[in-house]
Chains A and B, each alone.
Chain A
Amino acid sequence: MFNLAGYGQQIFNGTVTTIELSVLSLLVSFVLGLFGASAKLAKSRVLRGIGTVYTTIIRGVLMLLIFYSLQIWLNDLSDYLDSFQNRIDFEFPLDPFTSGVITLGFIYGAYFTETFRGAFLAVPKGQLEAARAFGMRPMQVFRRILFPQMMRYALPGIGNNWQVILKATALVSLIGLSDVVKAAQAAGEATFRTFFFISVAGLVYLVLTTISNGVLLLLERKYAVGVRKAAL
């Protein structure tokens, strides 16, 4: 019944690509989200404006649309940079994988911005003031006080975003990345068993989301250390 007809290796490679893509996109969007949240909470009006425009546009416009247009712009940019290539020795790598990471990171950066903004605001202000009073520099306050506590509030949101990113990577096969969906499609077309192979791809995603659910539970427990729950 479970006969992969020699396509097991391809599907496995596709799965690895999917995981790499989602993890890298998560990192990019995580960092972008931290910057975005800092911008939205900054005193400067310009920074706040930039943050607001970023999140409003990305979250109001659709993912696939951004995906396509960014992809095309990035390709134009890559062609443009390629035209310099004869003069300077510079390779601009823009395969589907890289542009997938950039676009997914850019899009979910907006969602992370909102997640982190809420979490930053949830950290009691007195703690930050105390840290300043101890003479910590802003970077130290962020690293020692704000970030560890903020993570606890942000984790459920991060978990949600991670699940969404994981599932959104399926779309990167539309721009030609050979991820697990693409491998399953190819295998299905070659063997005339499309239903079976796409189900296999679905199963891979199911396993990945289930595992990450478990990991998230563990993480939530770790970051909730030292928090007293109200006894009801």
Chain B
Amino acid sequence: MISIFQTYWQALLYSDGYRVTGLAMTLWLLVISCGIGFCLAVPLAVLRNARNPLLWFPVWLYTFLFRGTPLYVQLLLIYTGIYGLDFIHNTAPFNEFFRQGLNCTILSFALNTGAYTTEIFAGSIKETSHGEVDAGLAMGMSRFTLYRRIIIPSALRRALPVYSNEVILMLHATTLAFTATVPDILKVANDAYSATYDPFDCFGVAALIYLCVSFGLIFLFRRAERHFLAYLRP
């Protein structure tokens, strides 16, 4: 295992000399897709709880579609399916965008995690205690201010433990990226395997790296929970 790491450490960690690979690529995929997903999820979660069906129904449909199908199918749809459409092929900016495996991967990951995150946040917005809302209204806050100052900050805090699960699951899902030719850790390990025929060591090294990232993320989320949920501690 050490010899594999000695040969491939550069590719496994940050670059194979031409492009970003391995750990750096995996983390980039994770950060950008969770970032986009998060930004998507906050407004959608508010809409998901709206009373007007014209507002909540599209959001419900989005989460239903993306949570009901496997991520791999979504990735295939965006990576091979959309690029096969004539309309996309003939429009220069779309053609440029969907030709890159990395763009397609990020798009599908962001949409997928966005759907799950929307449901998580929507659930936690729904659980906001009515006393807090009443107090905000009594202070004369407008609906927008109420959401900005009271509901969203408190909902995001309470969603943190569940959200951390979603991020870990997203880390697990990033391994799918290699099917769209994105050189993440698994791709490098697979290449090392094809060169050495030593599955235990090659995949073992990759497993250790993933284990470290998982534990690092869990540690960070623990810290965040201790900070943001301090008011819930006995």
Contacts and interface: CB of A to CB of B under 8 A. Distances in A.
Nearest to A194: B84
Interface stretch (B12-20, B73-81, B126-134, B145-153): B73-81
Contacts of B211: 57, 60-61
A69 B200 contact: yes
Contact of B76 (A62, A169, A192, A198): A198
Interface stretch (B47-55, B99-107, B170-178, B223-231): B170-178
Interface stretch (A25-33, A46-54, A200-208): A200-208
Given A181-B72, A202-B69, A209-B68, A65 B206 contact: yes
Main SS of the interface on chain A?
helix
A168 to B, nearest CB: 7
Interface residues of A, number: 35
B203 A205 contact: no
Interface string A173-203: 1100000010001001000111100110110
A73 interface: yes
B177 to A, nearest CB: 10
Contacts, number: 101
Interface in B165-216: 171-172, 175-176, 179, 186, 189-190, 193, 199-200, 203-204, 206-207, 210-211, 214-215
Contact of A194 (B81, B171, B176): B81
A76 B203 CA distance: 15
B81 A195 contact: yes
A195 B81 CA distance: 4
B175 A64 contact: yes
B199 A72 contact: yes
A62 B175 contact: yes
A198 B70 contact: no
A140 to B, nearest CB: 37
A95 to B, nearest CB: 19
A210 interface: yes
A17 to B, nearest CB: 15
Contacts of A168: 70
A202 B84 contact: no
Interface of B: 64-65, 67-74, 76-77, 80-82, 84-85, 171-172, 175-176, 179, 186, 189-190, 193, 199-200, 203-204, 206-207, 210-211, 214-215
Interface of A: 57, 60-66, 68-69, 72-73, 76, 167-171, 173-174, 181, 185, 188, 192-195, 198-199, 201-202, 205-206, 209-210
Given A65-B210, A205-B70, 17 more contacts: A60-B215, A62-B171, A62-B172, A64-B175, A65-B189, A68-B186, A69-B207, A73-B199, A76-B199, A171-B176, A173-B72, A181-B70, A181-B73, A188-B84, A194-B84, A195-B85, A209-B68
